[in-house]
Structure 1
Amino acid sequence: MEVLHPGLLTTVQDTGRRARAQGFPAAGAADPVAFRLAGALVGNTRGEAALEVTLRGPRLRVHAPAVLALCGAPFAATLDGRPFPLWRAVAVRPGQVLDVGTAPRGLRAVLAVRGGLNVPSVAGSASTDLRGGFGGQGGRALRAGDVLSGHAVRPGVPPAGVVAPAGRTPVGPAHVLRVLPTAEATPELLRALPGRAFRVMPQADRMGVRLAGRLPAAANPGRLSLPTVPGAVQLPPDGQPILLLPDAGTHGGYPVPLVVAGVDVPRLGQLRPGDRVGFQVVTLEAARAALGAQERLLRGVAQTLAWHWRTGGPGVRD
């Protein structure tokens, strides 16, 4: 694929790095659910690298037969000027131009190509680390004139249906995030959560999202730097929470009174400035049950699509 226009911020991402002990941020797709479903639609089964688009997508000319899928926020996209559907695998001919426009809500989408993008692996992942300047397309966002190659696979016949809404990451503009309290959550802080609304500020990127609206101080405000994870809710001295995303550093000095439950971590990748955010404290058992239900749904969709690509069957239906 040749990049005619790069979009606002288009990067190569996959499932991320498992090298945090060596100081590497996780990186990877900010909406891992959209990433998994886009890959499954085109028959990718090993987390092959794809493109993550942000707010305004790229314009690409395809130079070889391919199967593409665009999943995530409801971006307006066209193929040679005709509507390009989301949540569906589409066969594309050489010379055709895919133009991914903007989305009225949500922030990101994943564009997967059958076989995955052929880019070098760094510390076990092809994901782009923008601050570190490595991974993906030379450690940077796409530029006009870039040419992306894919792994050589037979394009095949795409499945005929679309992924049902139940399997998709909600894209707002209002979000209620399930959270687990940590030892740094004070009773006063937990009492302040019910009914309190926050607003996503413009300071939002792949590293973190700052929220407007204050919480009471957490315990141990002067603690030493400790490990963090994507989904951690940091509370700096001004009381305005910061939600950590995949590119966040591996350690931090701010207290972390809350951690977003795994089932809702994909929603962090769809937060855009102006969205409203609330927190709902849940038990560890409830968080595990919700994540298990999500995982069963995603695996069911992936298995159905994998069966299609193995056998040429009907695949997933509406």
Structure 2
Amino acid sequence: MSITVLKPGLCTSLQDRGRFGYQHLGVSPSGAMDELAHRMANLLVGNTQDYASLEITLQGPTLRFEQACLFALCGADLQARLNDQAIPSKRPILALPGSTLSFKGRLSGMRAYLAVHGGFAVEPVLGSQSTLLRSKFGGWQGRKLERDDQVPVRTPLHLTPGSQQQLEEFLGAERIYMPAALNPAARDQIRLIPGEHLGLFAASSQQRLFGQNYRIATSSERMGYRLEGKPLFRQHDLELLSAPTSFGTVQVPNDGQPIILMADRQTTGGYAKIGQIAAVDLPQLAQLLPGTNVSFELIRAEQAAQLDQQRESALQRLSSSLESLRAQLSKLTGP
């Protein structure tokens, strides 16, 4: 069973939750930029949250399902259409053999995530199916999808006319319980935890960090978001040791313009770490387009941890509510 790429779109790549344990060897974790959308899409098709999904950036591909497949889309609204009929996001959708998925155009957000029941049959590299595009390994042949690719799906659905009707009726009647924490309203400000080097910056620069709007530079991408605004200055020109980086670390190079490290970040960095984006706000940040504005709100680490735990609890509740879907699908899969 496979999905055939008729048109590749702008940038569509396989991503999971990341490749961890190899930063000391210089290997970036990579993974989904909007991890929340990625995890939700997998839950909605009966997977665990660790399966890879297709990360679709801005301009979606055109894909043909060669066999019956259950899929879900979360994240950006790119106006998905199945056989030229509009379909909703955040719901499991049944695609029959020969069905074509396309995208009319962006309405909101930047990245959508397509998960399929059973995941993609792609061999992991260093324990992950994520694509590290700069290094050209992992995922689907170490690259973004191209025309005529046939990406295999691991677990086909075995449908008879009777079981197809039964599954369609089940999906039509299934009510998806979506906790509020998984559908938050967009915030005016991204929450930022003070970094270990915040005190190295002049008081005026610390105030400026939380008092001005930054523009996300057009050069921003999966490795990092470069911000443009009034520069931040350190009080003392001290040499800093290189240290491990993490998703959402805000570094300030010598030009005073902050850089937010994203999924494909470098493994270590020697610039001053002025702050850390709260994990709960990383999905919103990942959906912002270059050229848009962003500003920051101060938050304590304890508050950020509590918000993250609330989101994890909400994901667990969503998973529990989908037990009947998983039971239904187990009847339709096999070797």
Q: What's the TM-score once normalised by structure 1's chain length? A: 0.91
Runs of 4+ more than 6 Å apart:
none
Secondary structure at 2:306's aligned position in 1?
helix
Is 1:37 equivalent to 2:37 in the alignment? Answer: no
How many Å separate the matches in 1 of 2:293 and 2:177? 26
In 1: Cα distance, 2:226 partner to 2:178 partner: 31
1:202 match: secondary structure = coil
Verify the 8 A CA contact 1:221 1:254 in the aligned structure 2.
no
Of residues 208, 233, 249, the one that matches 1:232 is 249
Decide whether the 8 Å contact of 2:43 with 2:49 is kept in 1.
no
Q: Is the 8 A contact 1:68 1:89 kept in 2?
A: yes
Shift of 1:170: 5.8
Match in the other structure for 2:194:
181
**Which aligned pairs between 1:12-51 and structure 2 lie closer than 5 A?**
12-19=14-21, 20-51=23-54
Partner Cα distance (2:237, 2:79) in 1: 46
Q: Greater shift after overlay, 231-240 or 150-159? A: 150-159
Alpha-carbon distance in structure 2 between the residues aligned to 1:24 and 1:114: 29
Normalised to the residue count of structure 2, the TM-score between the two structures is 0.87
Equivalent position of 1:197 in the other structure: 213
Q: CA deviation at 1:311?
A: 5.6
Aligned counterparts of 1:311 and 1:95: Cα–Cα separation in 2:
23
- Residue 253 of structure 2 aligns to which amino acid in structure 1? P
2:279 alignment partner in structure 1? 262
Counterparts of 1:31 and 1:169 in 2: how far apart (Å)?
13
Residue aligned with 1:287, SS: helix
With over 3 angstroms needed to count, the CA separation of the structure-2 counterparts of 1:149 and 1:114, relative to structure 1, is same
* Gap regions ≥5 residues in structure 2: 159-166, 330-335
Higher mean C-alpha displacement, 69-78 vs 269-278 = 269-278
Corresponding residue number in structure 2 for 1:292: 309
Question: Which of 3, 8, 11 is matched with 1:9 structurally?
Answer: 11
1:132 pairs, out of 117, 130, 135, with: 135
| CA positional deviation for 1:294 | 1.2
- 1:34–1:169 Cα contact (<8 Å) kept: no
* Long gaps (5+) in structure 1: 313-318
Point out the more displaced range, 144-153 or 86-95. Answer: 144-153
SS at match of 2:286: helix
Shift of 1:246: 0.8
Shift of the 184–153 alpha-carbon distance from structure 1 to 2, 3 Å rule, reads same
Deviations 1:190-224 (A, max 9, x none): 32233311111211211111111134224666423
Q: Give the fraction of aligned pairs with identical amino acids, expressed as a percent.
A: 37
How far off its partner does 1:59 sit? 0.3
- 1:109 paired residue number: 112
Give distance in 2, aligned partners of 1:171 and 1:56: 24
Q: Deviation of residue 121 (structure 1)?
A: 0.5
Residues 169 and 266, structure 1, Cα contact 8 Å, conserved in 2: no
CA contact (8 A) 2:40 2:49 kept: no
Residue equivalent to 2:164 = none
How has the CA–CA distance of structure 1 residues 220 and 36 changed in structure 2, closer, same or farther, with 3 Å as cutoff?
Answer: farther
More displaced 10-residue stretch of structure 1: 151-160 or 5-14: 151-160
**Alignment RMSD (CA, Å):** 2.1
Say which one has the larger Rg: 2
How far did 1:113 drift?
0.5
Count residues with an aligned counterpart. 311
Partner of 1:289, secondary structure, is helix
Flag the structure with higher helix content.
2
